[in-house]
Amino acid sequence: MNRNGDFAYDNGGGVYVRFNGDSTSTLVTSGSQPCINDKRDITYVSSSQVRVLYHDGQLRTVGTGTDPVINSDGVVVFERLVDGFYQIFRARPALVTVHRLEATGLVCSPSDSIDQPLNVLPNPTVLENQPRIGAGASDDFGLVADGVTPLLFKVFLITAPAPGTVFNLDLSVISGGSITSGNLNQRLRVLDHRRLAQARPSRRLPTQVLPFSQPSERKTFP
């Protein structure tokens, strides 16, 4: 069951979902042992393969296993028989989360003018604990695009990336505003050994670098 009260179950070889408030269930696919997360992604088993049917219709196969569950970030855990014993496995694509910065993560002074850019403290321990936005929680604030307030991105991987791994972040305004000059990608900074460096196209991150980035942009609204 998810936070909305939707739940998934299997019956007769089919995976069904009952959305909260509905009086009937919907057959979504064939399979068994389903689990639904807060985004309505569903993980289930079909032909001994753990699969994920995302809320946007994409279907991915995770691997051989049974009894999968999925959380709101799309992390899937499941069991698999290995050398005669069941073990727990975890799988997930790279996760990008966005965060606002509290005073602990900013370099600023009360005497700064209102248009003074708020700089980010390049400390990975401090940045690790900044509040997340966009996750649907009740205390989940947005961010004002006033040109001086930074937005923090965190790229999270379960294991360290292989040397030479390339991360691409492409930032753009989808609707509702415009950029006064340049583009958002030009404002992107990457935390690299306790230093915020200008991001480059197809920037290669050393594997020991915590992959934080921080764009700050001035936008004008209609």
Partner 1 sequence: MTTGAVDHRAPGINSAGEIVWMEVIGGVYQVVSSVRGQITSPVGSYGGAEYPSLADDGGFLCSRPFGIFGDIVRYPGGGVYEFSTRNTQTGARRNPVRQNGISSNGKVIWGREFYQFGSLSTRRFFPRWNGGFPSGHSG
Binding site for partner 1 (CB under 8 A): 1-3, 5, 7, 9, 20, 35, 38, 67, 69-73, 75, 77-79, 84-90, 135
The type of residue at 153 is: F
CA–CA separation, 128 and 24 (whole Å): 43
Smallest distance, partner 1 to C-beta of residue 139, A: 13
In the complex, least distance from residue 210 CB atom to partner 1, rounded to whole angstroms = 17
User: Which whole-number Å values give the CA distances from 192 to 2, 202, 208, 212, 213, in the listed order?
Assistant: 38, 15, 9, 8, 9
Minimum CB distance to partner 1 smaller for 73 or for 117: 73
Q: Which is nearer to partner 1, 67 or 179 (CB)?
A: 67
Of the two residues 74 and 161, which places its CB atom closer to partner 1 in the complex? 74
Q: How far is the CB of 4 from partner 1 (least distance, A)?
A: 8
Closest separation between CB of residue 75 and partner 1, Å? Answer: 6
The nearer residue to partner 1, 85 or 221, going by C-beta atoms, is 85
Query: In this structure, what token pair is assigned to residue 209?
Result: 């670098």
Q: Of 66, 106, 115, give the one whose Cα is nearest residue 218.
A: 115
CA distances 157 to 41, 63, 90, 130, 165, Å, are 20, 18, 12, 18, 12
